Each structure stands twice: as C-alpha cells, then as structure tokens.
Chain A
C-alpha cells in the first residue's frame, strides 16, 4: 500500500527535453583517422594536438570497452555516431554575445542559464557547450582582470598552447581507458581554466553542457590548472533533449592543483535518463580525475547524478603532495530503468594525505545503483588517512543497491575507515511525517533530502537549492 502511494507520488516529466532547430555543421557518422584529422583541421590546431589525437585514436583501436562495471546495455556501434556537430552560425566563432544565434540564447534561457545581464546578478561565469563547441563565455573581462583564464579549450589551444601542452593529458593520459582514449582522439571542445599564483577566483565558474543534435556524441574535455596558492570553485550542469535512441557522452575532466591550491568541482548531471520503460537516454561514460601535485593542495568533487540511462564515472584524486586533501561527495539517483556505477578513487602517495568519501545512492523503480570505490595507500603514504561512508536508500522492491569498496594499504601507519549502510525508505518515517500533516510527496522528498544532506551542504549555495528540486523532479512517480 505504501509502495503504491510512493509510486503515485513520484512521476514528473523531464523538463529539459526540448529540441532546438538550428542549422548545424555536421560530419557524417563514423570514426576513422580521417575523422580525427578533420576535427583537428576544423579547430585549426597546432601539430602537437593532431599528433596527440592520432596517437590516442590508434591506441583506442587496440582497446575494447570495459566490461567490469555492474551495467547492462546494448553494445555501442561507434561507427554510427556523429563525432562533430556545431551550430552553423557560429562556425567562425562568436566574437561577442551579439554574434551568438538568438535561438541558442533562447535555449539557454529555457535551461535557466543566465547568459546576459542576469549572470552578473548570479555572479556566475558560464562557458556553455552546445553539442560540440563552446558557444559563449561570459564575464571574460572581469576574470581577465584577475588574471584568470576561462575559455573554450579550443581557444586555449590557439592562445595558450604552451599551457595546454604542459598539462593536457597529464592527469588522464589517453592510454588511461577506452573512453578516455576515445575522448582524446575526438574531443571537440570543453573548457580551460587557469588560475594564476595566489589568485582567488573572484566568482564561481560554470559550464553548461547540452546535447542537441540527434545521433551525436558529445566528447568534451575540461582542464583546470590551479597554480600555487590559488582557489577556484567550478560547477558543471548538463541536459539533453528527449530522444528514443541512446546518445553517447564520453567526457574527460582533468584537474591540477599545485602547492596550497584548492579546486572545488561540483556537478549537477541531469542528462536525459530515458523514458519510464528504459527507452532512450544518455550513455554517460566519464573520466574525471584530479591531481593534488603540490603540498597542502586540496581537490574536492561534489556530484549530484540524477540523469543518464547509464552512468559510469569515478571522479578521483591522486594525493601526491604531502598534506594534500581529497574529497568526494556524491548523490546518485536511479529511477525507472536507470543504472549507475559510480564512485571514486583516492590514491595516497604523499605523507599525511587525507581523503573523505561520502556517497549516497538512492534507487527507485527498477533503478540499479552501484558504488565502486578504491582507496589505495602507497608505501610512501606515511600517516595517510581515509574515511569512507556509503549509504544506500531503497525506495522500491524492484530496485537494487550494490557496493564494491576496494581498499589497498601498503603503509603500516595509514588509517582507513569504511562505513556502509543500506536502508529501505522507512514506513515508520513516512507514516510519522504524514501523521503530522505532510503529503506523501512532501514526506518522501523530506526524507530523501535528509538522507542527502551531508552532500548537499558541500554544494555552492545557489546550486544546493537546484539540486534539491532536481531530486524531487527525478523522484516523482518513481517509487514502487
């Protein structure tokens, strides 16, 4: 009986499912050396980039997709995917917002991304990636004043080739895994951030990704370098139209923190999850990794994963510098037939390094939610510490939660703590709330939000509210 109530309380529509009709410059489907060369030529890239892409491509040809994840999906036909699609009107690159297609701006408005004046109020600088290319980066002037570089990666390749060459692929090498190799070969754009020594970035930086064109893969690549003593908080959001076929998203994010630098990276991922029968949706295979290269550096990942049909991602931190700190806060929600296999890796190399992992998985409908985490203490990691807590909340009898924690300790002074719990949404809790006058829907939302609180409080203020709402939307009609 309770199940039925929860079920009826949990069905809302995906509200970002619109399609924008815009003329695009699109390649024919398929991947070959020629495709890679064409992408590089489109971007007018220097030779080092093309060489790197080709090496990645040839390496990718030798790989097969990973099978170890707790995920079930039809094999992806990589030759049927379009690897480059760009809104036509911006082919030569917009010089200012006035040159951006008004339809695009309309799309962003629908998404709630403030591209014009609203932004200044929000204090957020946005780099918006539409299908494959960056459309507009706002707030450039103010950031330039502070010496912060925030621009599309393609622009950085032109303007700051030395920086890009120095860092690109150093955290996630193209040999890292199948999807990272694919991304390295064909990535079409993404964001580049460089925070100079001692600078605290004056505003939150943000990227919004959107897949619009049909049968198109999105392969963006983000590179953030925080120089000594700097600080940056970065947020990415993602949406996609509702389409019957699956669409591939294989992104790479690399973070580099030098001495005393801090990077806070937050994600609100709301790609189209497919319909209630599991048809369509984004296949999300993402490699995210940060390197705490400097002493006393800190990298913190916060992710709210509510979208995508398939999620495969493990934002990780390599704790190389002594006294460096890595954090991972995650809420992953799977409803209907969504599947998520997500977690983190904390690789402790330096002395006195510390890491914290808080992972919350919520499963509803037929959703399958897997936490997969690795904590590795290398022999050099004197006095390193890790604390891991992963909790699962089940909202239906047909969903599943799975936990695969891997712990490797090679240093006797290191300490690792792991706590895990699984609970079903309590009938007692639900009845208690309703007895006090709350509707079933409000009760569920309150209980689930309470469950996620530890993670939500890590999000920047303005996005914490968004995340809570998103959770409510994603849960509507989900539980049974």
Chain B
C-alpha cells in the first residue's frame, strides 16, 4: 500500500540555511498492517508524517513514495486526502469562526465528491456524527463551536479521532495522538483504531511511548533516529526499548 524508498527531505531555517531532516527513509506498509514508529525527539518522525501528507515547508531532495502505486509526492495535499490519506495532527490547528461540524461536513462531502458520491444530506450527517461523537467521548457542544478554538489538548485529539472515524480514510497516520492524553482517552484512541482496522486499511502510528501500543498491537515497530529507521522488529522491540531506552539503539547502530 505505502512504499517509501530512500526518502530525503530538508527544511530551510529562518537564516535560509538548509537543514536535512530525513536522511533516506525506507519503509513498506502493506494493506491491513499497522506499523509503529518510535524514536527520540527530533528524530524526524513528525517530519515524515508531514512530508507524507504534503506539507510544503519541506524540500524533497531525493527518494520516492507511492500509495497504492500512485506517485504520492506529485500530488497536492487535498489530492492525497482524496486518495485516502489521513493525518491525525500532533497539534491540531484552531480556525476561529469556522463551525466544527460545518467543517467536517464540508470535508466529508469534498471527499465524497472525489469518489463520485452524492453529498451526505444534513439529516444523515447528523445521525452519523451523533453516534461517532459518543464513541470518541467528545462533548457534543463542541461540535457547534469553532474548530478547535478553546478546546483543551485532549478535546483536540478526540476531535481528530472523530474526523478519522467520520472520513473513513484508507491510510491513516497518527502523529503522537497519544501525547498529553489521560488513560481513558488513550483507551479511546486504541478502540477507535481497532474499530477501523481491517485488511484494506493501513496505519502508521507515531509515538514516543510503548503505552499506546498496549492498546494498538502493531505488526511492525520501527525505531527512528537522526532521520533514519535504525531498527525494525515485532512488538517485542517496543518492550525492549521501554526498558533499555533509545540510547541503546543509537549505540547499537554505530
């Protein structure tokens, strides 16, 4: 489903200096698989997520990425979304004055249009969102507020998961969705991912901690540092990391 070959990306800092962040990432995620990427701060995990979603702050200096055989890097962010790619943001942005539910309905209908489906009418949409909002444990009143404006950290993350459940994307990236969440919320994220998990859908779960992986059992765990994947393994790798720390991988790789 997702194939990343030797992906290198850099960013220009305020002084117009070029700084390479991804130093050749290789990754293959097959349909139905859940991959987790762990790694210390600054290892390039979030950059990878943003590059995949098409954020234009980054320069792709080499490598290729395909999603279901399509060249992902040549597509605009909205086209990637139409291809089924979804990014649950680490820091969901606030958009003042834009009604949360209106936004989600517009997004859903934009995606439906790409699939040549008729827009979902207001009544059907409402029925759907009312069940989903309960699943993610979000206060229904927040649907009528401006998108993420004044939401707590946890509420923002729940709202991201709500969007994920509503839009039913085929390839999902969770960028540190677990950070700042309490145990109940963590449990909800796990439940929501497991609900969507099927043989057609792929996941890339980015996290610092083993904790989330107690709820979402990954097929493969990768450890990333210095803009590269240094080690891959099954779920036992997560437990090993938890006990030995990241320095263990870094020293082993050298």
Contact = CB atoms under 8 A, between A and B. Distances in A.
A439 B55 CA distance: 14
Nearest to A438: B110
Contact of B77 (A431, A442, A452): A431
Nearest to A436: B107
Contacts of B147: 450
Interface string B13-57: 000000000000000000000000000000000000000011111
Interface stretch (A174-182, A237-245, A421-429): A421-429
B76 A434 contact: yes
A454 B107 CA distance: 23
A437 B93 contact: no
B56 A435 contact: no
Contacts of B110: 436-439, 442
B167 interface: yes
A404 interface: no
Given A427-B57, A429-B93, A446-B103, A436 B98 contact: no
Given A436-B81, A436-B107, A451 B114 contact: no
Contact of B89 (A426, A432, A446, A449): A432
Nearest to A454: B97
Given A431-B55, A436-B167, A446-B103, A451 B96 contact: yes
B82 interface: yes
A433 B98 CA distance: 11
Interface in A169-209: none
A446 B147 CA distance: 11
B81 A432 contact: no
A475 B57 CA distance: 24
Given A437-B78, A450-B96, A442 B106 contact: yes
Contacts of A435: 53-54, 77-78, 80-81, 86-87, 89
A88 interface: no
A453 interface: yes
A79 interface: no
A2 interface: yes
A439 B80 CA distance: 11
Contact of B78 (A1, A427, A438, A452): A438
19 contacts: A2-B56, A426-B93, A428-B93, A432-B95, A433-B95, A434-B76, A435-B53, A435-B80, A435-B89, A437-B81, A437-B111, A437-B114, A438-B110, A447-B98, A450-B98, A450-B146, A451-B96, A451-B97, A453-B97
Interface of B: 53-57, 76-78, 80-82, 86-87, 89, 92-93, 95-98, 103-104, 106-107, 110-111, 114, 146-147, 163, 167
